[in-house]
Amino acid sequence: MDPKEEQLATQIVKKLVKSGFIAYFAGGCVRDLIMKQSAEDYDIATTASPDQIIQLFDKTIPVGKQFGVIIVVAEGHQYEVATFRNEGPYRDGRHPEKVIFTTPEEDAKRRDFTVNGLFYDPVKREIIDFVHGREDIGSKLIRTIGNPEERFEEDRLRMLRAIRFAANLGFKIESQTWETIKRLKSKINSVSQERIRDELVKMFTRPNAGLGLELLSKSGLLAEILPEIEVMKGVQQPPEHHPEGDVFIHTKMLMDQLDHPSVVLAFGALLHDVGKPNTYSDEGGKIHFYNHPHVGAEIAEKLLTRLRFSNREIADILSCVENHMKFASVREMRVGKLKQFVARENFKTELELHKIDCLASHGKLELYQFLKEKTDEFKQEDLKPKPWINGHDLIALGIKPGPLMKEIIEEAYSLQLESKMNSKSDTLEWVKQQYIKSNKKGAL
């Protein structure tokens, strides 16, 4: 994060302190400070009430005023400023029935994990630790603050958050916290799909996504929220192509290769072989997964729709799933088809998926290098020129709409990309010769 972000957050704290309030940095930014990592954002906790925060700063947004949370806007940057509070009871597994403004110590004790329960005074440059968070950071341990069952009953998403923090930080989960997650795992189904999606996105687009997947499975949460992935376990693959093991192991190894990926690449990697369990066949000792990209795309669409991904994200992830096996035949593609293949908007993401798919199996990158060379070779060309002909042109020639018309348009475009058709008149003459005069496939 830009150092300016921390400077602005510090100025907010100083203004609160100057006005007679206690104010600290709170939560994840303090953990990141201790770990000498760049903070993603700076949250502030204070004894000032929401109304006092609003009066003190020129521009605020009362996004969660009923819970004591105000957004303070400083030079275009937004900072969450929350009044120290205590909460409860939680009857719906997420929202407290009441909020009581309280002391920093009581506020720390109602937070989720010890590593997130720390405060930092940027004026005095002091860490305030009421929950032994520094000790757990030093031990690389994710532990709930207080009784794990109470913390998870307050907000059941915290079970997923424990997995996410452990994976992304490379920490272990404390034994009592871990056993409680395993016991309460089915209660994750009371959490909204949108919140589950957001937590999975953070887990899989940050470091150690493969570890996150492994912990989800071992905890039992994966079977609850992504049963389509859990069933990959034990599905064997041809050893000559996949010496690494079953489909789940292969998928985990793909996730291990990710380095701050986009959402599309992360979930493309997670779902690229999701069709294999449903298409497994063993023919005389030879394993096949016929049509698994298409079957996988159907499964992935239902899964992504269930998790409320955007239509654009779903389309791009499905493109990864549908097309990942096509990379095996790129050397055999004619030039026009290859140009169309690499000109697609999602190609760069799919190419990266192909690379990590290879690295997580046989390790051969010849086709990846071939495509890198071809994309460099094609850089000077317009890979998406306007087609010389369209359906209206073919109707004018007397060709009926239907599969044949689609075939003609696609073949004409491939020839155009191969510079074998240099004008509209050339192309129309080719259509007349190939399809009309010969009445090929009943064109008229």
All CATH 3.30.460.10 domain ranges of the chain, comma separated, are 1-133
Range 349-369 average pLDDT: 96
Q: Please state which CATH number belongs to domain 140-222.
A: 1.10.110.30
Neighbours of 237 (CB within 10 A): 20
Range 374-383 average pLDDT: 90
The CA distance from 342 to 329, in Å, is 13
The CA distance from 222 to 200, in Å, is 11
Residue 94 forms beta bridges with which residues? Answer: none
Taking only the tens place, the pLDDT of each residue in 81-94 is 999 998 766 555 56
All CATH 1.10.3210 domain ranges of the chain, comma separated, are 226-377
8 Å CB contact between 387 and 428: no
8 Å CB contact between 327 and 321: no
8 Å CB contact between 290 and 261: no
Percentage of the chain lying above the pLDDT 90 cut: 86
8 Å CB contact between 113 and 142: yes
So what's the pLDDT on residue 443?
57
Q: Please state which CATH number belongs to domain 226-377.
A: 1.10.3210
Range 382-403 average pLDDT: 92
Q: 357: Cβ–Cβ under 8 A, 6 or more apart, which residues?
A: 254, 269, 272, 324
Which CATH class for the 1-133 domain?
alpha beta
Range 111-122 average pLDDT: 97
All CATH 1.10.110.30 domain ranges of the chain, comma separated, are 140-222
CA dist 103 to 84, 277, 331, Å?
6, 53, 67
At residue 98 the predicted structure's pLDDT band, cuts being 50, 70 and 90, is low
The CA distance from 34 to 200, in Å, is 25
Asked whether the whole model's pTM tops 0.75, one would answer: yes
Residue ranges of alpha helices (H) inside 344-402 are: 347-359, 366-377, 391-396
At residue 435 the predicted structure's pLDDT band, cuts being 50, 70 and 90, is confident
Consecutive H or E run containing 99? strand 99-101
DSSP string, 348-363: HHHHHHHHHHHHTTT-
Taking only the tens place, the pLDDT of each residue in 188-224 is 999 999 999 999 999 999 999 999 999 999 999 999 9
So what's the pLDDT on residue 101?
86
Position 313: which residue type? E
Residue 281 forms beta bridges with which residues? Answer: 288
At residue 380 the predicted structure's pLDDT band, cuts being 50, 70 and 90, is confident
Closest by CA position to 42, among listed 114, 120, 113, 111: 120
